[in-house]
Amino acid sequence: MSRYTATKMAIIEFMRRLANDVASDSITANVVFLGLTNTLATTPQSDEQMRATRKQRAINRMGEPEDVKGVFLFLASNGASFITGQAIVVNGDRYRIG
């Protein structure tokens, strides 16, 4: 878990530094952390693994691509032009940092 946590924190710090570096050019930089989402990458998981994951969430189901696309569309829109340097978590209420 230490490598996972260190990597996640490094991504956040890189994004915050990048946000500061490009802000004067009216560019925003944010990161979106996704929970386990029903994609081709998750199909090898067993039913038992999927059930265990769902039990750990407040929203008791797998995320779907439709659940996350709105965040990306919003961040790419003018409505998010004053949002920068943020880590946005889309995971059904499961955020794991360590």
Contact 85, 16 (CB under 8 A): yes
Catalytic residue set:
4
Instruction: Give the C-alpha separation, 26 to 38, whole Å.
Output: 34
Contact 65, 39 (CB under 8 A): yes
Instruction: Give the C-alpha separation, 51 to 54, whole Å.
Output: 5
